[in-house]
Amino acid sequence: MRKELKEIQQLVDKVHGWLSPHEGITLYNLAKNCTGKGVVVEIGSWQGKSTIWLAKGSKKGNNVKIYAIDPHTGSSEHKEAYGKVWTFNNFKKNINKANVEDIVVPILKYSDKAAKTFNKPVELIFIDGSHEYDLVKLDFELWFPKVIDGGIIAFHDTVGWEGPKRLVKEIILKSRNFKSVKFADYSITYGRKVKKNSVFDRIRGRYVLILKNLYEIPYNLNLPKPFIYFMKVVVRSLQ
């Protein structure tokens, strides 16, 4: 297993994107654990780094299809940084090089347009599209009903980006439809959809939110890397 994960990491290191190794392994395991009761949906693929992790995990599990939704013209922050954006050619090249083209289904649409016609049950969704609060919330509201009971909803960039961070906090504090909330490395937060969570589930969700806030402190204070690593290990072990 370690050898395989190392090989995947070496592969995705050559793919442009923003995903830590620990986050990649988290996506790999979430996709690997999918049973086939629904498909995997990724909102925001960029050039395929996270898509490859999801696809490799799915291939190790039950070969659940990965629907990669992205217009490949960039979100507002990408356009601000890079100007005109077109990532689909690099996405296709990276997917083919990873030998996962047979399991990845690209959908070149914005997520709200894709949601209108998407009629498959979803077992795992990874939301990593636009980071403005209203747009992240829209992604969640449009796709949440498509997720099966017991399915996983994961958000990227829940640290450092106000939109995802705010939405995840609201969901954990207010929603009665989430349990088993966890976070991975610096910015992925995920949980399992349920019809109605318990008091214990809600308490645990708040506990994880506190841990997540503690996890951010070393980064915000620009503390030395060895101390940040130590804090990572400690906080992860407390989940």
Q: What is d(CA 216, CA 186) in angstroms, rounded to the nearest whole number? A: 8
Torsion region of 190: left, alpha or beta (phi above 0 gives left; psi -120 to 50 gives alpha): beta
Q: What pLDDT is attached to residue 77?
A: 62
Are 149 and 180 in contact by the 8 Å Cβ rule? The answer is no
Q: At what angle do helices 21-32 and 2-12 cross, to 10 degrees?
A: 120
Q: Is the pLDDT of residue 79 over 60?
A: no
CA 1 → CA 78, 111, 138, distances in Å?
35, 33, 37
What are φ and ψ of residue 233, in 5° steps? -60, -45
Q: What pLDDT is attached to residue 80?
A: 58
The mean-pLDDT minimum among 59-68, 134-143, 176-185 falls in: 176-185
Q: What pLDDT is attached to residue 211?
A: 87
Q: Is residue 233 very low, low, confident or very high in pLDDT (cuts 50, 70, 90)? A: confident
Structure tokens belonging to residue 77: 């922050």
What element of type H or E holds 219?
A: helix 199-220
> If you compute the radius of gyration of the chain from its CA atoms, what whole number of angstroms results?
17
pTM across the whole model: 0.92
Q: Is the sign of the CA dihedral 136, 138, 140, 146 positive or negative?
A: negative
pLDDT tens by residue, 133-159: 999 999 999 999 999 999 999 999 988
DSSP, collapsed to helix, strand or coil, labels residue 109 as: coil
Structure tokens belonging to residue 215: 């996890």
- Portion of the chain with pLDDT greater than 70, in percent: 95
**Domains along the sequence of the chain with CATH:** 2-237 (3.40.50.150)
* Residue 219 bridge partners (DSSP): none
Task: Give me the chain's average pLDDT, please.
Answer: 91
Contact partners, residue 212, CB within 8 Å, separation at least 6: 158, 159, 183, 189
Q: What pLDDT is attached to residue 156?
A: 95
